[in-house]
């Protein structure tokens, strides 16, 4: 372990230096020292919780809220209420909004579109960038002051960084790659269900086509579809369709002008034919008379 007696306890801007002992992992089997820089949280726009909050810089990449809670409990400092990491949406509690100032114009916060549906997580937890920051909020201001005292006295014996509880290095990326793709059993079940649904749809389409091949249309003809007819259409069904068609035609008789003219011509022809029949009948009776006048 490298020596820490030459490391100052405080640097510019009142940052306190907290050396952390990083244990060996599968990806890096040598212990290392990591330096965490902390000071009181002093934002540009003050908030009611500034007196009980600390601003941390150079947070370990695998840091989570449980890690920081365990770390400060090991230091016998104050009790942590919440932790808010930089550019993180998974923090335990959001920071309180600053007081409104009518003199200064504030930018409208960007709204992120809401995601629909449940997404499968392929990472066990998010990692931070190098030199990431976090805001640690304690239950009260006394806990914050007590933690700062313990940080100043922890220089000689650096606390051990808690176990991450998750894989890092090549093991983490292997798990991520495995979670990106579904298992063979899930794929097989999905393919089987799709094939079964496709087969049922094809069978229903075949039955519907067979029914269409057996039913005549409005003119009494059977529509020719792909695959040919299973059996000829029944004669009584075709006759029934023709009768319905003729009945529909009769319902519209005399509706159009040409129909009226055709009806008149038809009646005239019928009267002429009847007159000729009567005239022939009269001639026959005249020829059959016994008394013939001179």
Token reading at 89: 């949406």
Map residue 34 onto helix, strand or coil: strand
Token reading at 215: 């039913």
Q: Does residue 91 carry a pLDDT above 60?
A: no
Local structure of residue 46 (DSSP, 8 states): -
Which residue spans within the chain are E strands per DSSP? 10-11, 15-22, 32-40, 53-59, 80-85, 132-138
Q: Does residue 208 carry a pLDDT above 90?
A: no
pLDDT at 273 (0 to 100): 93
pLDDT at 86 (0 to 100): 80
Nearest-5° angle of CA 150, CA 90, CA 108?
Answer: 105
Radius of gyration in angstroms for the set of CA atoms belonging to the chain, rounded to a whole number: 48
pLDDT in tens, 136-179: 999 998 988 888 888 877 777 888 888 766 667 777 778 888 88
Block residue for tokens 């009142």 = 14
Angstrom distance (rounded) from CA 135 to CA 78 = 15
Token reading at 58: 């150079």
Block residue for tokens 């909020």 = 137
Q: Count other Cβ atoms within 10 Å, centred on residue 54.
A: 24
């Amino acid at each position: 372990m490298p020596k820490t007696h030459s490391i100052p306890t405080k640097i510019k801007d009142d940052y306190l230096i907290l050396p952390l002992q990083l244990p060996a992992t599968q990806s890096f089997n040598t212990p290392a020292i990591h330096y965490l820089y902390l000071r009181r949280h002093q934002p540009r726009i003050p908030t009611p919780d500034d007196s009980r909050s600390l601003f941390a810089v150079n947070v370990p990449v695998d840091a989570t809220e449980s890690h920081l809670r365990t770390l400060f409990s090991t230091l016998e400092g104050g009790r942590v209420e919440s932790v808010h990491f930089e550019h993180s949406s998974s923090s335990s509690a959001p920071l309180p909004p600053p007081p409104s100032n009518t003199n200064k114009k504030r930018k409208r916060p960007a709204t992120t579109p809401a995601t629909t549906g449940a997404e499968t997580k392929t990472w066990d937890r998010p990692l931070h960038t190098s030199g990431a920051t976090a805001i640690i909020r304690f239950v009260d201001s006394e806990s914050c002051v007590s933690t700062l005292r313990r940080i100043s006295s922890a220089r000689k014996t650096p606390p051990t960084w808690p176990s991450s509880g998750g894989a890092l290095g090549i093991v983490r990326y292997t798990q991520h790659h495995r979670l990106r793709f579904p298992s063979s059993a899930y794929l097989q079940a999905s393919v089987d269900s799709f094939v079964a649904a496709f087969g049922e749809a094809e069978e229903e389409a075949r039955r519907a086509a067979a029914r269409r091949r057996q039913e005549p249309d409005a003119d009494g003809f059977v529509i020719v579809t792909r695959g040919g007819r299973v059996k000829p259409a029944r004669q009584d069904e075709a006759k029934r369709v023709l009768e319905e068609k003729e009945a529909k035609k009769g319902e519209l008789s005399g509706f159009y002008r040409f129909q009226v003219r055709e009806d008149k011509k038809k009646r005239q022809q019928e009267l002429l034919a009847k007159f000729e029949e009567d005239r022939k009948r009269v001639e026959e009776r005249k020829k059959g008379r016994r008394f013939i006048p001179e």
